Chains A and B, each alone.
Chain A
Amino acid sequence: MKNGPGRSGLIMDEPLLWEKGKKGRNGMSIPESDVPAAKIADEICGAGPDFPDLSEVEVVRHYTRLSQWNFGVDTGMYPLGSCTMKYNPKINEKQAAAEEISGAHPLLDDEYCQGTLRIIYELQNFLAEITGLDAVSVQPAAGAHGELAGMLIFDAYHRSKGQKRTKILMPDTAHGTNPASAALCGYKPVPIQSGPKGILDVEQIRELMDEETAGIMITNPNTLGLFEENIGEIAEIVHEKGGLVYGDGANMNAVMGIVDLKKCGVDVLHLNLHKTFSTPHGGGGPGAGPVCVVGKLKKYLPSPRVEFDGANYRQEESPDSIGRMHGFHGNYGVLVRALSYILSMGAENLKKVSQYAVLNASYIKVKLKDYLHLAYDRPCMHEAVFSDKNQHKDNVNTLDIAKRLMDCGYHPPTIYFPLVVPGAIMIEPTETESLEEIDAFIDVVKNIVNEAKSDPELLRSSPNRFKVKRLDETQAARNPCLCG
């Protein structure tokens, strides 16, 4: 199967919702009223929105057809770097959908919702244990929301010392959310260039860290897939100047049971439950971004958190808390799924997850490095970053390779990120791909590299097996049509 599992099949066309249906149809059962009609003041009444009326069958077919134009982890390998597209277990969905849980109202008094509170409490504890940190709030709704919580904690901590620090150290490999989150707290990012080995250089940190700098944001393993070996020393320098160390835990999937974040000197860390803890990515969300801290910062965590007094679970608010980040308890349904995953795995399997994730990525790195240019030939963690450098002579670029991969039946890796590697191809296979799947993927990439020489036009004209060919993004941005 040199060309991968991709084949062509019947693609059903489907118009936009409002291009079908007829007035008077309905797709949902609505009971007749069992109470008298009440009076309503005319001046508050509107006409109601102009929505199409569709039957139930029309709605179901519409979305079934749309879904068939999509590709998910359940369809095939999805090695999108930094996104940890692992298998999303079905049993987690069942636990989150159970009616006692999914039907629970968030404003019930604690005595009536001990079960839902216990889920939060257990997850708080398990995440603390996995990261090595001391206390957790599960309220942030996504990774970037967790980062914002972290930066607010930085701000609260420095204020408690009577300081308002204005800068923050920001490695050039950071996700864009890092500087954007810091900026929301008024911190000016001070860019740090990665050293020649693709990791942070201690001397540069020593030079730039001062008492106006709130601290540093470090993604570890970083977005080049490399472990920041000097993190301990860097943390020491930052702490000496009164700063704090933020750990972006987006890549936690590489280090569970292997790295203790507290021992690394990390003070605040967010996790992405939709990455490491197997909850579905849902075409862009919802995620969950719990924030974990060392003991001295516990009092600043978002409120409320859940505590257990030996008999009852209680919601508690800390007077020093940065406050509420979300209307209620964050993306609670995602928390239930993550708990279900941790309980299914146990400590031993979670460690295996990280070992196998690194094994799979290391294997791909070794097998492909003679075909694609490897950005840093060093031991990688859960992902390997290549580039299109070897293909420039054929006038083929990363985008062409990505589009050809699609026709072969794979979701492409993350492309053109991190920015420090021009034409980056960032491959994160995750632990749930088998050796056969990975070997097949490697064969396909090798084949594409050969096609780049023998038939570059094939790559440049890809993809050809989807409902649409390459889309005109320039036109979309020049004359935005955001509403039909």
Chain B
Amino acid sequence: MKEISELNLPEDLRYTKDHEWAKVTGDTVKIGISDYAQDQLGDIVFVELPAVGDNFDQGGEFGTLESVKAVSELYCPMDGEVVAVNEALEDSPELLNEDPYGGWIAELKPADSSQLEQLLDRDAYLELLKGE
């Protein structure tokens, strides 16, 4: 397991207390899991992706990640509709371990962009991790 100081936590992302990240790209928001989350989970062996067109509320369960001996739910960082999913993860779930920020999971068209402001910035997220 990595020490907190070893974690890669980019400045330009927003984070959630459930260890997801969100990044605005034009009209849409890409979401994934943080370096901390992938490190805690260990080798990810399967990703259950949402379907394009599905709608989720903030905090709603939109998929699952599996390691060899654990299952974790993915919680949606904000309300919105899924406009794309990272299909590469179906065959190569290890992308989330290798590069958690390149390995996005889903792309969302947010219903309310202001919800992004409620998410944690890097410093706030780091504080949260120190408490865990």
Chain A residues within CB distance 8 Å of chain B: 416, 473-474, 477-478
Contact = CB atoms under 8 A, between A and B. Distances in A.
Contacts of B43: 474, 478
A391 to B, nearest CB: 15
Interface in B6-50: 43, 45-46
Contacts of A473: 68
Contacts of B69: 416
A105 B45 CA distance: 46
- Interface class of chain B by DSSP: loop
Interface of B: 43, 45-46, 66, 68-69, 93-94
Contacts, number: 14
A416 B67 CA distance: 15
Nearest to B68: A473
A416 B45 CA distance: 20
14 contacts: A416-B69, A473-B68, A474-B43, A474-B45, A474-B68, A477-B45, A477-B46, A477-B66, A477-B68, A478-B43, A478-B45, A478-B46, A478-B93, A478-B94
Contacts of B94: 478
Given A474-B45, A478-B93, A478-B94, 11 more contacts: A416-B69, A473-B68, A474-B43, A474-B68, A477-B45, A477-B46, A477-B66, A477-B68, A478-B43, A478-B45, A478-B46
6 closest Cβ pairs, A-B complex: A477-B45, A474-B43, A478-B45, A473-B68, A477-B68, A474-B68
B67 to A, nearest CB: 8
A183 to B, nearest CB: 15
A473 B68 CA distance: 7
Contacts of A474: 43, 45, 68
Contacts of B68: 473-474, 477
A477 B70 CA distance: 12
Contacts of A478: 43, 45-46, 93-94
Contacts of A477: 45-46, 66, 68
A452 B72 CA distance: 32
Nearest to B93: A478
A474 B46 CA distance: 10
Contacts of A416: 69
A410 to B, nearest CB: 22
B61 to A, nearest CB: 16
